[in-house]
């Protein structure tokens, strides 16, 4: 027993922290776990259709089952995730969450120990994990998230890759891709290295998993996912249009350069075309640098760490539990030949990224409301300073400039000729509205269920418009041209068209918009 304890004693503080928050999670709201749990339950009950991606339908069905004080959103999760959670759906909600947390901790600790052993990292560095990653660990377990599981899948796939265990590598990475999509970027490592064997196994794994999922969920929901859900999620449209909490490069540039009269009126310059071009240029920069690091870096742990950082930076939305994945860059940093000062600095950046409380700075004036993002960019810069000599800076800059120019002069049009009806404090999900005499009553959903509010209207004479092929028409004249979902168009006062729309928002997160047709 003593040798066993001695072998794993560096993991004891982490285990104690995990078990403490697992216990706390028993009495914590279902939170994010509800998204997965009810997705699995609806699939098990045969009611898993594209309606699960529309938050009103999803939440109403949950409420109809007798659950209260839950506000869930299945998007942007894949249909496969519901299949993964079918076994949990047969357990009571609290028991299912507890089971997931315990299983996740077991797999998480297992992969940590294997990483430390394989890369010969000093076990003492595990003692810092519960400190540097305290908030991600806490929120992962309280919210019932899947990032411990995702870390396990990515770590095990990479260890299998290091050992040329192609089948194992393909299975683990394939499941990771179907769990959260963005690990698909790791295939670029193999592409850049011209290693076609791992690509073959990963793609084969993905095809098999897709076909297996289709057997249970059908193909229609997968078509809907690829056509409607994934594009919105890739464009940062998860819930609202401007979400500083995401602390992403995407949201920072959007808040800097995209004007909105209600949600973002204080832009320095309204330049949506520049915003699109900068996003493209930023992606090209990360991919270009990744090309040289993947090809030239001898340190494989650094390669996977770079791509983890790149995936976090590329994501238009972010959360604290995502930063569990920064454990790989942390180990890479501790294993590196960097000076002690730079290692300490890197640990401080990691601590700030993972633990800096949003409420401490989120209300600051822009850009000081993005302190967590700045800390992440500093951490990224520190990593680049380690192997900068592997990067052909001139070629990277030329590629970035060319990408910016093409994106700027050939922009992707996002047509909009409407505006919000309500103010900044509008509910996140309005699902219906009615006009009676001089009042407009709108109905919204939140954690408490159905709610309503009203605003006055003057001489609200109405005429009903039509929604055809997801566009609004009035007397056969097309009024909208964007790709958002729309419902219930009503003309008031013969000059303003009101309707429900999820334009620039998460799928089905409707709010009231208006078009002046004078």
> What are the contacts of 359-364 at 24+ separation with CB within 8 A?
362/244, 362/245
Residue that is written with structure tokens 């742990």 in the block = 301
Parts of the chain with a pLDDT under 50: 1-5
pLDDT on residue 8:
66
| Tens of pLDDT, residues 444-502 | 999 889 999 999 887 777 788 899 888 999 888 888 888 899 999 999 888 889 999 99
pLDDT at 5: 44
Burial track 124-156 (b if 16+ CB lie within 10 A, e otherwise): ebbebbbebbbbbbbbbbbbbbbbbbbbbbbbb
pLDDT at residue number 413: 65
- In degrees and rounded to multiples of 5, residue 77 shows phi and psi of -65, 150
Strand-pair partners of 43 = none
Q: What is the pTM of this model?
A: 0.94
Residues 6+ apart with CB under 8 A from 425: none
DSSP sequence for 286-348: HHHHHHHHHHH-S-HHHHHHHHHHHHHHH-SS--GGGGGGGHHHHHHHHHSS--HHHHHHHHH
Spatial contact of 365 and 255, defined as CB atoms under 8 Å apart: no
> Would strands 486-492 and 496-501 be described as parallel, antiparallel, or unpaired?
antiparallel
Asked whether the beta carbons of 35 and 73 are under 8 A apart, the reply is yes
For residue 70, the SS3 value is coil
SS3 call for 386: helix
Alpha-carbon span 218 to 213, nearest angstrom: 8
CB 485 within 8 A of CB 508: yes
In this prediction, residue 143 carries a pLDDT of 96
Q: Are strands 466-468 and 477-478 parallel, antiparallel or unpaired?
A: unpaired
pLDDT at 415: 61
Residue 417's pLDDT is 79
Order the strands of the 496-501 sheet from edge to edge.
419-420, 511-516, 496-501, 486-492, 462-464
Q: What is the pLDDT of residues 44-98, one digit of tens each?
A: 998 899 999 999 999 999 999 999 989 999 999 999 999 999 999 999 999 999 9
Residue showing tokens 């490592």: 189
Radius of gyration of the chain (CA): 24
Q: What is the pLDDT of residue 1?
A: 39
CB 514 within 8 A of CB 262: no
Q: How confident is the model at residue 2, as a pLDDT?
A: 44
pLDDT value for 136: 97
């Amino acid at each position: 027993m003593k040798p066993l304890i001695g072998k794993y004693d560096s993991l004891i503080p982490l285990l104690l922290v995990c078990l403490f928050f697992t216990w706390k999670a028993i009495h914590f709201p279902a939170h994010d776990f509800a998204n997965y749990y009810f997705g699995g339950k609806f699939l098990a009950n045969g009611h898993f259709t594209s309606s699960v991606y529309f938050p009103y339908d999803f939440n109403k069905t949950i409420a109809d089952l007798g659950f209260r004080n839950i506000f869930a959103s299945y998007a942007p999760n894949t249909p496969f995730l519901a299949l993964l959670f079918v076994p949990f759906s047969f357990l009571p909600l609290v028991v299912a969450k507890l089971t997931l947390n315990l299983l996740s901790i077991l797999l998480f600790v297992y992969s940590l120990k294997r990483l430390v052993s394989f890369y010969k990292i000093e076990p003492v560095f595990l003692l810092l994990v519960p400190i540097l990653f305290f908030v991600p660990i806490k929120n992962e377990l309280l919210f019932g998230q899947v990032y411990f599981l995702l870390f396990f899948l990515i770590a095990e796939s990479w260890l299998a890759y290091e050992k040329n265990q192609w089948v194992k590598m393909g299975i683990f990475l394939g499941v990771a891709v179907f769990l959260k999509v963005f690990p698909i970027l790791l295939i670029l490592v193999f592409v850049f290295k011209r290693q076609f064997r791992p690509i073959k196994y990963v793609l084969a794994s993905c095809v098999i998993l897709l076909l297996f999922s289709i057997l249970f969920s059908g193909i229609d929901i997968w078509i809907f996912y690829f056509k409607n859900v994934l594009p919105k999620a890739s464009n940062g449209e998860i819930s609202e249009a401007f979400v500083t909490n995401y602390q992403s490069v995407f949201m920072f540039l959007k808040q800097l350069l995209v004007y909105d009269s209600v949600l973002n009126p204080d832009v320095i310059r309204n330049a949506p075309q520049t915003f699109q071009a900068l996003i493209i240029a930023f992606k090209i920069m990360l991919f270009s640098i990744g090309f040289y690091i993947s090809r030239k870096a001898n340190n494989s742990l650094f390669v996977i760490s770079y791509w983890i950082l790149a995936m976090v930076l590329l994501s238009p939305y972010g959360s604290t539990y995502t930063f569990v994945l920064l454990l790989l860059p942390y180990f890479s940093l501790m294993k590196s030949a960097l000076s002690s000062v730079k290692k300490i600095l890197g640990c401080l950046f990691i601590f700030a990224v993972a633990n800096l409380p949003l409420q401490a700075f989120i209300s600051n004036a822009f850009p000081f409301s993005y302190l967590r993002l700045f800390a992440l960019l500093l951490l990224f810069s520190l990593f680049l300073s380690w192997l900068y000599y592997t990067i052909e800076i001139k070629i990277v800059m030329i590629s970035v400039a060319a990408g910016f120019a093409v994106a700027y002069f050939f922009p992707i049009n996002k047509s909009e000729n409407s505006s919000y009806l309500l103010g900044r404090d509008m509910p996140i999900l309005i699902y219906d509205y009615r006009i009676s005499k001089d009042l407009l009553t709108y109905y919204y959903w939140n954690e408490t269920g159905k709610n309503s509010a009203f605003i006055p209207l003057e001489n609200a004479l109405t005429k009903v418009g039509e929604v055809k092929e997801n566009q609004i028409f009035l007397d056969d004249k097309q009024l909208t041209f964007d790709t958002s979902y729309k419902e219930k168009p009503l003309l008031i006062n013969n000059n303003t068209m009101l309707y429900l729309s999820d334009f620039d928002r998460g799928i089905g997160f409707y709010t009231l918009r208006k078009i002046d047709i004078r």
